[in-house]
Chains A and B, each alone.
Chain A
Amino acid sequence: MISPSPAFRVRLLAGTTFGAAFTLACGLAGVQPNAPDDLGVADRLLGGTRQAVSLNLFNTADLYFHKGVAHQHSKAFTGRLFQRLQAGITPEAHAHAEGQDSAEILPWLKLACRTDPHNVEAFLVAAFWADTGLHRGDIADGILREAQRLNPSDYRIPQEKGRYAIRRNRLDEATLDVSAALTLLLQSGASTDRQVLLDKAELLTCLGFLSEVRGDSPHALHCFKNTLAIFPERAYIKERVAVLEAGQKPDVSARSLLERLTRQSTDDACQDHDHEQGHEADHDRDGDTDHTTRSMP
């Protein structure tokens, strides 16, 4: 029997190692997540940079919301010469853009949306300021239409459209939007994210009140019970379920509760925002509030 030469052994070992590495590489390549098909050229070229730039533009919008005053951080020392001069040069007072001033926020949000079309939050905040700050519902509708075109499977957009429709007293349209949002949310799968749970509860509550307005008490009861399945501690929903099950008429009308639920103003946004800045940990800890506002990040 002819024994292989040492050189042949080395070549055989190298070939086998290469084959194993090649096979492993092919296998690993096979489990790599594929890039979504809807990525544009800019997405492929810039990737995560777009999101970073978009976030930065979004933060600039926040800076404009505070009239150019950045969030204050705690400092190791205060009152030194340079800080005293700085305080005189750079404004530090707490202020918010109101009325027509809020229009100055919109260019940054528009740029944030352009930079990253999947930054849904930027679209929603832009729509909020157009509607609430400038009272330009037409612009807000346009922004949400564009957002939905670019992000057809995101539930937050029909949810926001539903809120606007309720505030404008277009309840049939609101029912369609809220139902669509709920369907999209359920399609996205079970989530333990707190914001998603809050949104789901809000959608169910809205749908319940909308059903009540239409006179469809059984469906309203179904929605309220689903809300309680998420947040069992919501006392006013419990009371409402008890009243509806007893076949009585509730003291507070569904319409007024709907209005309260979707009421948004710049003041609300400011309070909500400041609250988040100062007491993030306390915010909505017990889940017993479902008053929704669209504030800056």
Chain B
Amino acid sequence: MSRILTLAAITWIEMLRRKDLYVLLILLAALLGALLTMNVYGLAGVTGYVKDTGLLFVWLLGWILALNTSVRLLPDEEQKGTLFPLLAKPVSRGALIVGKWLGAWSVSGAALLCFYLTVGLGVLLKGGAFNLLILTQAILLHLAALAVLCSIGIALSTRMNRDAAAVTAYVVTGAAFVLMPRIPAMLTDTEGVAGTVLSVLYYGFPHFELFDLRRRLIHEWGCAPWLIVAEVLVYGALLTTGFLALAWLGYRKRQFTRGAAL
């Protein structure tokens, strides 16, 4: 366990050294600044659009950060050659994958909390507020979504180079987010092979829409039932475990050659 935590800590140090997080935070703050200056016919207390746009960007930035961080970790170690002393410690392949995933997830999760805090401050400045209980649920589910995203990034990076893994991860997760909730409606007028493919996608791909509580949060519909939230968290944990297992299967017997280009 201590080895896994050490590997995660290395990811933290690397992320703090890099500028990604700061750039994304500045972007979010600039966007919120622009939104806060908008005058809605002189009406006070209109904050829905700030919440909506702010949370949309929290999701987008969280998605970018989680995938960019997770797909980079293993290929970078291989490219720099630092993988060899790491595996000689000895650290098992499984521990390496879990450690890297934990690092990517915890860094993205911490960044996510900063993003939510920034949006919360923006909404407060505009005279509104979030319902704290729904916000807690939203953050919990969002963290679970990031866990799944990081595990997908790690799993793909065990089979591809960094850029290919990043592109594939963006396409797959983006399509899953947009397409999955629409498949039941699309199937009403789709038959044959296309219908079968859509059904396979529906049950085979992750349902990220289940982790998205923005509508409840923005329009104050009240908390989601805790039992449902727990079920979605379990679903997230299962997906994460599954993708990490896939990553391990692809990595456990992989031969590395010093200086080999990926």
Looking at the complex, which one of A69, A76, A85 makes contact with B188 (CB distance below 8 Å)? A76
Residues of chain B contacted by A76 (CB below 8 angstroms): 184-185, 187-188
Interface size on B, residues (CB 8 A): 35
Looking at the complex, which one of B40, B42, B184, B202 makes contact with A107 (CB distance below 8 Å)? B40
Looking at the complex, which one of A64, A83, A134, A139 makes contact with B184 (CB distance below 8 Å)? A83
Q: When A64-B48, A88-B228 are in contact, do A75 and B213 touch as well, CB less than 8 Å?
A: no
Q: Does B163 contact A (CB under 8 A)?
A: no
Q: Does A68 contact B (CB under 8 A)?
A: yes
Of B60-68, B82-90, B215-223, the stretch lying at the interface with chain A is B215-223
Interface residues of A in 64-105 (CB under 8 A from B): 64, 67-69, 73-78, 80, 82-83, 85-86, 88-91, 100, 103-104
Interface residues of B in 208-234 (CB under 8 A from A): 209-210, 212-213, 215-216, 218-219, 221, 224-225, 227-228, 231-232
Q: When A77-B187, A91-B219, A107-B48 are in contact, do A85 and B41 touch as well, CB less than 8 Å?
A: no
B250 to chain A, nearest CB (A): 27
Residues of chain A contacted by B12 (CB below 8 angstroms): none
Q: Does A297 contact B (CB under 8 A)?
A: no
In the complex, number of A-B residue pairs with CB atoms less than 8 Å apart: 93
Q: When A91-B215, A104-B48 are in contact, do A77 and B221 touch as well, CB less than 8 Å?
A: no
B35 to chain A, nearest CB (A): 9
Asked if A91 and B49 make an inter-chain contact with CB atoms under 8 angstroms apart, the answer reads no
Chain B at the A interface: SS class: helix
Asked if A67 and B221 make an inter-chain contact with CB atoms under 8 angstroms apart, the answer reads yes
A146 to chain B, nearest CB (A): 10
Q: When A68-B221, A90-B215, A91-B221 are in contact, do A85 and B232 touch as well, CB less than 8 Å?
A: yes
Residues of chain A contacted by B227 (CB below 8 angstroms): 88
Q: Does B125 contact A (CB under 8 A)?
A: no
Residues of chain A contacted by B225 (CB below 8 angstroms): 88
Residue of B nearest to A140 (CB): B41
Residue of B nearest to A85 (CB): B210
Residue of A nearest to B43 (CB): A103
Asked if A74 and B188 make an inter-chain contact with CB atoms under 8 angstroms apart, the answer reads yes
Residues of chain A contacted by B212 (CB below 8 angstroms): 89-90
Asked if B188 and A89 make an inter-chain contact with CB atoms under 8 angstroms apart, the answer reads no
Interface residues of B in 92-114 (CB under 8 A from A): none
A281 to B40, CA, bound (A): 36
B233 to chain A, nearest CB (A): 11
A288 to B42, CA, bound (A): 40
Interface residues of B in 190-214 (CB under 8 A from A): 202, 207, 209-210, 212-213
Chain A residues in the interface with B (C-beta under 8 A): 60, 64, 67-69, 73-78, 80, 82-83, 85-86, 88-91, 100, 103-104, 106-108, 110-111, 130, 134, 136, 139, 142-143
Chain B residues in the interface with A (C-beta under 8 A): 38, 40-43, 45-46, 48-49, 52, 141, 180-181, 184-185, 187-188, 202, 207, 209-210, 212-213, 215-216, 218-219, 221, 224-225, 227-228, 231-232, 235
Top-7 shortest CB links A-B: A88-B228, A76-B187, A104-B48, A68-B219, A75-B184, A107-B49, A73-B185
- A80-B184, A107-B48 given; 10 more Cβ-contact pairs under 8 Å: A74-B185, A85-B210, A85-B235, A86-B181, A88-B227, A103-B40, A103-B45, A106-B43, A130-B41, A139-B41
